């Protein structure tokens, strides 16, 4: 919660104007590196590899 100190209030302009949409590839480019970093940091990368190999094994049957 912010406290008003009596100074001028500055507001950020929205990065996307109303009526415009952001390209989904931009969102993907932002989200994928963060997801990979979190998966690596919390050990999810090995679980992902196990699940992917299981799916590949099932598809091979």
For residue 52, the enclosing domain spans 24-59
| pLDDT in the model for residue 57 | 93
Answer whether residue 44 is part of any domain: yes
Structural contact between residues 39 and 48, judged by C-beta atoms closer than 8 angstroms: yes
pTM, two decimal places? 0.42
Q: Return the ∠ at Cα 44 (arms to 57 and 54), rounded to 5°.
A: 5
Q: How far apart are the C-alpha atoms of 20 and 10, rounded to whole Å? A: 23
Q: What is the CA radius of gyration of the chain?
A: 21
- Work out the widest C-alpha separation in the chain, in whole angstroms: 70
Q: Return the ∠ at Cα 50 (arms to 46 and 54), rounded to 5°.
A: 165
The answer on pLDDT for 13 being more than 90 is: no
How many domains is the chain built from?
A: 1
46 or 57, which is more confident: 57
């Amino acid at each position: 919660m912010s406290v008003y100190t009596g100074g001028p209030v500055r507001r950020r302009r929205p990065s996307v104007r109303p009526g415009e949409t952001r390209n989904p590839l931009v969102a993907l480019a932002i989200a994928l590196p963060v997801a990979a970093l979190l998966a690596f940091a919390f050990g999810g990368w090995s679980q992902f590899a196990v699940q992917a190999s299981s799916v590949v094994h099932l598809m091979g049957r």
